[in-house]
A and B are shown apart, each in its own frame.
Chain A
């Protein structure tokens, strides 16, 4: 049981932060289908930076600090990459669905091209000396072990960031302005808010969080292997955001629920209870996607979807 909860937490953390990333972008009025691509790109940059650090012998004695620094670096890379989306969606008023899809394909292609060219393989392994970044406390009581044993510092960072940013978007002036641009940009503009600036801010924060989540994903779930895909986690995060009704609390519940559902597939073979059911791994893999469909069908009516999402801001439309 403790093992299952530990695994759930590991899977839930990247989902949590990437779903929040989606929320930031959509609350500012931009559909961010590019979450997957931003995750891939952030993860790739993080893996390269981690290798550079370790190969040059910098901070190798402080693995946790190194991990945290690489997380920040991949967030910056994700933010820079997301400028491609904001340029097309905010400045040039292009179709946001097409732009997001293109960025997803671009991220996978660029990552594969660079990885194969620079490392002679599509997959980049994190350096071996980076292996000690798992926090191990096997002797504490079982409840504390869920949070403190076999855990990663990224999980704590993500939860902390999640709480801070959720308060920020609801309680600060800038956060409220950002949300107003997703609901009625023309009204927001009429009281002097710069809609373009707010949308740039929303997508950039979104890109940063997605990049961070991407690196957290490859460092924890994917055992330190970066490649041209994050296995649909970005899209799952998007679904969690819709499940959570574009609100942080709902997203948190959704992330834990889908973290649990998502981790059942890969670990099903190590559970006697699941093994006795005789279902293959594929069955458990399907469950989270199937549940998303059911949830979407049920929650479609009470949608808290930002009213202006996906519509390029046009000053002339009042």
Chain B
């Protein structure tokens, strides 16, 4: 029992529980939306709502035959890679106390940089060189994203302007820049039959992301090694955040910027650096997505709509409690739901139902503090019971109980506000 009590006391466990609660709540309310939709549409009856829910929850496994399941599984993994990148981007910024809603813009700038490199250098005859160009393309994408991330960071650090509004402005500027730049480069535009406003894919220049045989396992899917790049970068960010002085400084600035300044940290530099790295990660996300040989970039309408990948990084980060490792799994899970959404047409619904559920999950993620508070309240009650027990024994052995009571109180207090991470020595040890 005491082991179990210790487990629910851990903040990591609480985060997982509150994330699961968010997901369940999101799915339930999403189901209600499906029922409402079935009332309005004569072609759908309420039974279809249950069938639709089963399809969404089945994800790629509800795609029919084994062949499609394999293809959809591969696609799920492929689409998860950019999502993990934007998710880690948002998570890193959140750790520094910043809300990076600029991920769509950074994603687009990463796309711009990487495609400019990958499509302008032709290595179709030089297979040895193509990997180098591929790496260069990703690096350029990262740099472009980093520059775009710097802008809100700079505004926040120097002018103390809310980063959210700056991020949104830079998003739309990036969207227009991308359409503009590619519009000026007709030699990159695919003018093939039935194509309008699409760029060539990286397959034409030979600089696409290597597949290393993965396409033989997941036949017919887009899968490439992008997911490994994403996982590796997520792990690197995790190590930076938890094991290095720099990562500690970032988290300290996020927990309490006045405290961080008092401790001699340059919080302005940290804010800008954090946003730059976040931007670089989102930029790599854009690069990984469009360097795949099967994905075409529609540049002429890019200025009118921001990419969903950027925004879906927000739920990935929130559900993963801003832990880069957890974001990997959450990214896969979100794509799992989305693939389920794509299969919904057999139940008479459309793919946007999955978006509704994801949006609802974020809505409930805002309450995660509430969920945790409820768990803490139970925990506090238990602590007070322990205290009462100790008080009963107090008459017999006074000196020993003094300390254990102090411990119990300290334990109860330390669990009051898990959201505000105190800057203590314990953090350094992690």
Spell out A's residues near B (CB within 8 Å): 33, 84, 88, 92-95, 97-99, 101-103, 105-106, 108-110, 112-114, 116-118, 229, 231-232, 235, 238-239, 242, 280, 282-283, 285-286, 289-290, 292-293, 296-297, 300-301
Contact between A293 and B169, CB atoms less than 8 A apart: yes
Rounded to whole Å, the gap between the CB of B413 and the closest CB of chain A is 16
CA distance A92 to B350 in the complex (A): 32
Q: Tell me if B360 is interfacial: C-beta within 8 Å of chain A.
A: yes
Contact of B160 among A109, A290, A300 (CB under 8 A): A300
Contact between B370 and A103, CB atoms less than 8 A apart: no
Residues of A within 8 A of B176 (CB): 282-283, 285-286
Contact between A118 and B41, CB atoms less than 8 A apart: yes
In chain B, what residue has the closest Cβ to A112? B352
Contact between B355 and A112, CB atoms less than 8 A apart: yes
Contact between A231 and B350, CB atoms less than 8 A apart: no
Rounded to whole Å, the gap between the CB of B56 and the closest CB of chain A is 12
- Given A109-B356, A110-B33, answer yes or no on A117-B164 (Cβ-Cβ < 8 Å): no
Contact of A102 among B99, B161, B170, B363 (CB under 8 A): B363
- Given A118-B40, A282-B179, answer yes or no on A98-B362 (Cβ-Cβ < 8 Å): yes
Rounded to whole Å, the gap between the CB of A262 and the closest CB of chain B is 11
Contact between B164 and A289, CB atoms less than 8 A apart: no
Residues of B within 8 A of A110 (CB): 33, 352, 356, 359
Q: Tell me if B255 is interfacial: C-beta within 8 Å of chain A.
A: no
CA distance A285 to B370 in the complex (A): 41
12 residue pairs bridging A and B, Cβ less than 8 Å apart: A33-B164, A92-B370, A94-B366, A105-B362, A108-B355, A109-B355, A109-B359, A112-B352, A113-B350, A280-B183, A286-B176, A286-B177
CA distance A106 to B304 in the complex (A): 19
In chain B, what residue has the closest Cβ to A231? B304
CA distance A283 to B41 in the complex (A): 43
Name the interface residues of B146-196: CB closer than 8 Å to any CB of A. Answer: 151, 155, 159-162, 164-166, 168-170, 172-173, 176-177, 179-180, 183
Contact of A292 among B160, B169, B179, B183 (CB under 8 A): B169
Considering only CB atoms and an 8 Å cut-off, how many residues of chain B contact the other chain?
49
CA distance A103 to B365 in the complex (A): 12
Residues of B within 8 A of A114 (CB): 37, 40
Residues of B within 8 A of A33 (CB): 164
CA distance A292 to B177 in the complex (A): 17
Contact between B41 and A117, CB atoms less than 8 A apart: yes
Rounded to whole Å, the gap between the CB of A254 and the closest CB of chain B is 13
CA distance A285 to B162 in the complex (A): 23
Known: A113-B356, A117-B37, A118-B41. 9 other contacts (CB 8 A): A88-B363, A92-B367, A98-B365, A101-B314, A117-B40, A232-B172, A280-B180, A285-B172, A289-B170
Main secondary structure of the interface of A (DSSP, over half): helix
Contact between B318 and A98, CB atoms less than 8 A apart: yes
Q: Tell me if B369 is interfacial: C-beta within 8 Å of chain A.
A: yes
Rounded to whole Å, the gap between the CB of B193 and the closest CB of chain A is 25
Residues of B within 8 A of A282 (CB): 176-177, 179-180, 183, 303
In chain B, what residue has the closest Cβ to A265? B176
Spell out B's residues near A (CB within 8 Å): 33, 37, 40-41, 44, 99, 101, 151, 155, 159-162, 164-166, 168-170, 172-173, 176-177, 179-180, 183, 303-305, 311, 314, 318, 348-350, 352-353, 355-356, 358-360, 362-363, 365-367, 369-370
Residues of B within 8 A of A290 (CB): 169, 173
Rounded to whole Å, the gap between the CB of B197 and the closest CB of chain A is 14
CA distance A193 to B153 in the complex (A): 38
Contact between B365 and A296, CB atoms less than 8 A apart: no
Contact between B352 and A289, CB atoms less than 8 A apart: no
- Given A112-B352, A117-B41, A280-B180, answer yes or no on A285-B303 (Cβ-Cβ < 8 Å): yes
Contact between B370 and A113, CB atoms less than 8 A apart: no
CA distance A124 to B303 in the complex (A): 21
In chain A, what residue has the closest Cβ to B37? A117
Residue picked from B161, B349, B370, most chain A C-beta under 10 Å: B161
Residues of A within 8 A of B160 (CB): 300
CA distance A238 to B165 in the complex (A): 8
Contact between A117 and B349, CB atoms less than 8 A apart: yes
Residues of B within 8 A of A117 (CB): 37, 40-41, 44, 348-350
CA distance A238 to B169 in the complex (A): 11
CA distance A2 to B223 in the complex (A): 56
Contact between B155 and A101, CB atoms less than 8 A apart: no
Contact of B363 among A84, A238, A242, A293 (CB under 8 A): A84
Residues of A within 8 A of B349 (CB): 113, 117
In chain B, what residue has the closest Cβ to A301? B159
Residues of A within 8 A of B353 (CB): 109, 113
Contact between A113 and B352, CB atoms less than 8 A apart: yes
Residue picked from B40, B170, B358, B362, most chain A C-beta under 10 Å: B362
CA distance A232 to B165 in the complex (A): 11
Contact between A235 and B370, CB atoms less than 8 A apart: no
Contact between A95 and B363, CB atoms less than 8 A apart: no
Residues of A within 8 A of B173 (CB): 286, 289-290
In chain B, what residue has the closest Cβ to A115? B352
Residues of A within 8 A of B165 (CB): 235, 238-239, 242, 292, 296
Contact between A106 and B359, CB atoms less than 8 A apart: yes
Residue picked from A103, A105, A232, most chain B C-beta under 10 Å: A105
Rounded to whole Å, the gap between the CB of B358 and the closest CB of chain A is 7
CA distance A93 to B44 in the complex (A): 37
Residue picked from B37, B305, B352, most chain A C-beta under 10 Å: B352
In chain B, what residue has the closest Cβ to A280? B180
In chain B, what residue has the closest Cβ to A229? B305
Contact of B356 among A92, A99, A106 (CB under 8 A): A106
In chain A, what residue has the closest Cβ to B344? A113
Rounded to whole Å, the gap between the CB of B376 and the closest CB of chain A is 14
Residues of B within 8 A of A286 (CB): 172-173, 176-177
Contact between B177 and A97, CB atoms less than 8 A apart: no
